[in-house]
Amino acid sequence: MSTVTTGASVRRRMSAESRREQILDITHAIVDAEGFHAATPNRIAEAAGVTRPVLYQQFGDLAGLFVALIDRESERAPAQLAEAIAQPAESAGSDPFIDVFAGALRAIDAHPATWRLFLFPPEGAPPELHHRLARYQEEVRGFLERELVRAFPKLPDPEYTARIVHASGRELLQCRLADPGEATVERLISLVRYLRTGVLPADSKRAE
C-alpha cells in the first residue's frame, strides 16, 4: 500500500507542474489507502506542505482535485497496459488473447494503485469516476467484440461473447489485486487458457 509523505519532508520550492503532480500523488496515496472521504483539503495540504489556498489555486476545489486525479490515472492505465502487452511473449506462437491477459496482469503488478482505482473504486468515489468507468468498460467491450470478429469470423454471437470475456477477465484481475498470493499469475493464465479453448473456436485464423 502506498505511504503518504508528510509536509515536513516536502517543504521546498517546486514548479507549478511539479507541485501539481506532488499534490495528485499525495491525494492518490490517501485515496488508495483509506478512500476518497479521507482525502480532506486540510490533510492533503498538510501532507504536501502547502496551504489550502495553494491547493485551490491548482485545482479550484476538492472536486476539481479528484477529477484531475481520475483523469491522470485514466490516461496512465491504457499506457501501462500497452507497454505491458508490448513486452515479448514468454513463448513463440502464444495465443494473442492470452498475451493480452498476461499483459494486463503485468500492468496491475507494476502499478497496483492505478488499477485499484478502477477495479475497486474507493469509498466515497465521486460520480466522475463511475461515469468514466462506464465509458471505459463500454470501450473495452467494443474492442473485444471487434477482435473476436477479426479472429473468429464465424463466431455466433460476438457481442455477448465479448461481454462474457470482459466480465470474467475483470473478475480475475480483481482476484489478482485482492489476493495475489492465491491468484498467482500462473494460476490465472492457466485458467484463462482453459476457458479460451472451451469457449472460443480452436481455429483462430483471422478473416481474410
Residues 135-146 have pLDDT tens digits of: 989 999 998 899
pLDDT higher at 72 or 7: 72
Spell out the residues 6+ positions from residue 127 whose beta carbon is closer than 8 angstroms to its own: none
The whole-number average pLDDT for the span 30-45 is 96
The whole model's pTM is what? 0.82
**CB neighbours of residue 174 within 10 Å:** 16
What's the full length of the chain, in residues? Answer: 208
Q: pLDDT at residue 45 above 60?
A: yes
Q: So what's the pLDDT on residue 8?
A: 46
